[in-house]
Amino acid sequence: MLADLLNNLSSNLTTGLVQAAGAIVLCVAVVVACRRFAVHVEREAAVAIARGLVQMVFVGVVLALLLHGSLLVGGLILLAMTIAAALTAARRAPDIDGSVLLSFWAIAAGSGAVIAGMLAIGMLQTSITMLVPVGSMIIANAMNACAQAAERFRSDVTAHVGQVEAGLALGADPAVTVAPYVQSAVYASLLPRLDMLKSLGLVWIPGVMAGMMVSGANPVYAGIYQFIIVVMILTASGIAGLIMTLLMRARAFTPAAQLTWSRG
């Protein structure tokens, strides 16, 4: 496996490095232009370019090794991605107890259900080279939806503490008092994905389709498959956003129906 990797590296390395050098030259030209207008980003740009190149080469090597692994390895990679996604999404709700765990369950439920469904009906192959890239797209979007829902729900509830407590004081169920904010949070988390679906092919041609066409797939099939992926992303995002909001709703109240969040 390592020998194959080294062979591939040697054949593509020269081309890749020349292309990278070309990109760096363009970037350096911009830095020089900035300098003429007293915008000094030389050091920062140099560090960023060096870091970016080293990191991407490293990721490439790791992926090249991992993509030859088994389905179990693929599953573990997706699990690790889900954990990382949960840690990232939880930053949007830092003062909610157990926000990492809530995010993890929401993202795992959304992306897990969709990936499992796609595998079950043959929409997604079990090969790790398909599973990991497609899975990562679904997890990343579920993460964004989860974070957006968490942030919107919390900000809406804390901005309407008076209304929520007025409802509670009238004997309403806590779920009733925050129902409008559940709706707005889930909708807000879905909106970017809905816009993405609407603009598909008109405003942008996403990576999966571009990659398939570059590798010689029929453009029509590549387009249809891209549509399927975006619909699955929307589905995973919807599940993740809804579950995150409902889990947060449960944390917002005590068993005695008292709001635990203070005015924002």
Partner 1 sequence: MRSNQDLQMSATTIVGYTNLSRDQGFPIKAVHHVSADRAHEVLGLETRNLSRCVAGKLLLDSISVQVPPGEVLAVVGPSGAGKSSFLRLLNRLDEPTGGSVLLNGEDYREIAPRELRRRVGMVMQTAFLFPGTVAANISFGPRQHGETLTADHIAVLLDRVGLPGYQDRDVSNLSGGEAQRVSVARTLANAPAALLLDEPTSALDEASARGIEELLLGITQERRMTCVIVTHNRLQAARIASRTMVLEAGRLVTIGPTKEVLHAC
Positions in the binding site for partner 1 (CB under 8 A): 162-163, 165-173, 175-177, 179-180, 183, 254, 256-259
Rounded least distance, CB 238 to partner 1, Å: 19
Rounded least distance, CB 132 to partner 1, Å: 41
Residue with tokens 């929409």: 123
The residue (of 188 and 208) whose beta carbon lies closer to partner 1 is 188
Give, rounded to a whole angstrom, the gap between the first and last alpha carbons of the chain.
56
The residue (of 75 and 180) whose beta carbon lies closer to partner 1 is 180
The residue (of 164 and 233) whose beta carbon lies closer to partner 1 is 164
Rounded least distance, CB 180 to partner 1, Å: 4
Instruction: Give CA–CA dist 181/155, Å, rounded.
Output: 9
The residue (of 189 and 226) whose beta carbon lies closer to partner 1 is 189
Q: Which of 144, 138, 143, 142 is nearest to 208 (CA)?
A: 138
Rounded least distance, CB 183 to partner 1, Å: 7
The residue (of 23 and 166) whose beta carbon lies closer to partner 1 is 166
The residue (of 104 and 253) whose beta carbon lies closer to partner 1 is 253
Instruction: Give CA–CA dist 264/262, Å, rounded.
Output: 6
Rounded least distance, CB 42 to partner 1, Å: 49
The residue (of 158 and 163) whose beta carbon lies closer to partner 1 is 163
Rounded least distance, CB 154 to partner 1, Å: 18
- The tally of CA atoms less than 13 A away on the side-chain side of residue 184 is 12
CB 226 within 8 A of CB 200: yes
Q: Which residues contact 82 (CB under 8 A, 6 or more apart)?
A: 104, 107, 108, 111, 112, 139
Rounded least distance, CB 168 to partner 1, Å: 6
